[in-house]
Amino acid sequence: MYTALIAEDELLVRMGIASSVPWEEYNIRLVGVAENGIQALQLYREHHPDIVITDVRMPQLSGLELIQAIRSESLSCFVIIVTNVDDDRTINIARMFGVSDILFKASMKQTDIMLAVKRACDELANKDSAHTKDMSEHEMWAAFLIKRERAQEIPYGVFGFASFVIRPAGNAPRHLGQEFEDALRERIGSSEQCVSVSEGNRVYLIFKTPVQEQEGEALIRDAIGRFRLSHSVCVSAACAFATLEIAQLKRLMEKIERIGLESPFYEGSVLILSSDGEYVHGRLAELKRTLARFALSGRKVRGLQTCVTALNEYPGRLTDGGEAVVERGRALLSLIGDDGNHATFDRQVEAVCSALENYLEKLKKKIRPEILRVVNYLEENLSGELPLAEVAEKLGFNASYFSRLFKREMGCTYSEYLTELRIQRAKMLLLETKMSVQAISEECGFSEISYFSYRFKLMTGITPMQWRNQQ
């Protein structure tokens, strides 16, 4: 026999539902009738019913919050919504939580609720409960995210997704995925909001509740930053903050795999993607960083590899000859051995380098001229303090307007860009010179060496001296 629960704050509707369904005929026992969300959740946890019929707007705990709590504990419970709310956003959220039926009170007939319950019973009868009901939510997601299995058994979509790659440095433990997953859970604090799964040095994060892009990105960056401070690692991430059905999520995961977060180009990056896997903001700073690596003495082949990979993974941005540059680079790389030391290819490497530089210059032209003035000014005066208000005034901008314009054009805040620029300059000096860390810190605009070391480790996962020694 199946079990059912009704959650409805309107007395007449509550009584109407309870009396409309031939429970015994459908082989169902009605285990509870609740007048608010809190009472409904208590009854659910006491009886674990197979079917829940709920309103959306209820006191103390809404219907959507109730469904969210249920989904954190069970994937097999059938949920039927009876409501007066008909806005698209609420309905879409309800469907993402795997609601099997939505009935509107204004037009609902007695036969509608009977048919909805009958459909749930038929589904329960056809389902091999031993196959899915004993599987926890974490096990279900692990099967899908790691093995790409059981997609058809996940009854709801998601509101966001993040994929992480952890790259240990030096003598760090080989697999740190579980430790990073634990750090994520500690940062998030609630299993009702997210599900996390790890394997080796990969971690996946599913958002079960709606999350704004800015909020989600801040949460992920904070978790990565904290983990870097306690471990010698580099963490790269790709995220999408959008409603995703399971089929969409599967395509997005395939897209992220093709991007290749393991690439040195994405070292420490947090890529923000749309639901179809396109870049919401691909940062010019990342391309500039790659070009800087490419230009380093003795690193041309490795730099070429990362630069070609980077350009190839910027969909929609390869215009004005960018595709030709990638193809030329690929052709050259196919002729270079694994050791990457074939001097006979120097001339071809220089040619591709020149083509890449020209392409990036064309890409720069798509940025507003006033922002390029700022970028050039920062590069020429990097040893100074460069506070936003002072730079804006010097270049003739209102500080507030300048801040918004910079983020819109560059895809990151002024302070984020400036810090990244300083750290990249520091890397070049660590590699190319014998300057002390103290001198490099001052040259790159950091007034305190302790703060420089802190920011460097936050971005790379290791200290400046560790980075120099590894190169």
For residue 159, what are the contacts with CB-CB under 8 A and spacing of at least 6? 96, 207, 208, 209, 210, 211, 241, 242, 243, 244
Greater pLDDT, 447 or 173: 447
What's the average model confidence in pLDDT over 34-55?
90
The pLDDT confidence band at residue 167, using thresholds 50, 70 and 90, is: confident
pLDDT at residue 5 greater than cutoff 90? yes
Question: Confidence band (pLDDT; 50, 70, 90) for 38?
Answer: very high
What is the average per-residue pLDDT within 435-455? 91
Tell me the C-alpha distance between 391 and 414, whole Å: 10
If you average pLDDT over residues 268-285, what whole number do you get?
62
Average pLDDT, the chain: 76
CA atoms within 13 A on the CB side of 98: 25
Strand partners, 203: 164, 198
Q: Where are the domains of the chain?
A: 2-132, 136-280, 282-366, 369-470
Q: How far is 84 from 154, CA to CA, in rounded Å?
A: 27
DSSP 275-301: TTS-BS---HHHHHHHHHHHHSTT-HH
The reported pLDDT for the residue numbered 355 is 58
pLDDT at residue 267 greater than cutoff 80 = no
Please name the fold of domain 136-280: Alpha-Beta Plaits (3.30.70)
> Is the pLDDT at 71 greater than 90, yes or no?
no
Separation of alpha carbons 166 and 198, rounded Å:
11
Report how far residue 468's alpha carbon sits from residue 471's, in angstroms, rounded to the nearest whole number: 5
The pLDDT of 366-383, averaged and rounded, is 78
Is residue 447 over pLDDT 60?
Answer: yes
Position 159 scores a pLDDT of 85
pLDDT in tens, 99-125: 878 888 888 888 888 999 988 888 777
- Backbone φ and ψ for 99, nearest 5 degrees, come out as -70, 135
Is pLDDT at 134 greater than 80 in this prediction?
no
CATH class, range 2-132: alpha beta
Residue 7 — pLDDT band, cuts 50, 70, 90? very high
Q: How confident is the model at residue 332 (pLDDT cuts 50, 70, 90)?
A: very low
In terms of pLDDT, which residue wins out, 206 or 147? 206
The pair phi, psi for residue 163, each rounded to 5°, is: -120, 135
Neighbours of 419 (CB within 10 A): 19
The CATH architecture assigned to 369-470 reads Orthogonal Bundle (1.10)
Q: Quick check: 293 pLDDT over 50?
A: no
Among 42-51, 310-319, 357-366, 448-457, whose mean pLDDT is lowest?
A: 310-319
Least confident of 200-204, 274-278, 391-395: 274-278
What is the model's pLDDT at position 313?
A: 42
**What mean pLDDT comes out for the span 45-69?**
88
Query: According to the model, what pLDDT value does residue 342 have?
Result: 40
Name the pLDDT band for 76 (thresholds 50, 70, 90). confident
223 pLDDT more than 60: yes
Q: Kindly state the average pLDDT of the residues 362-379.
A: 72
| Residue 281 scores a pLDDT above 50 | no
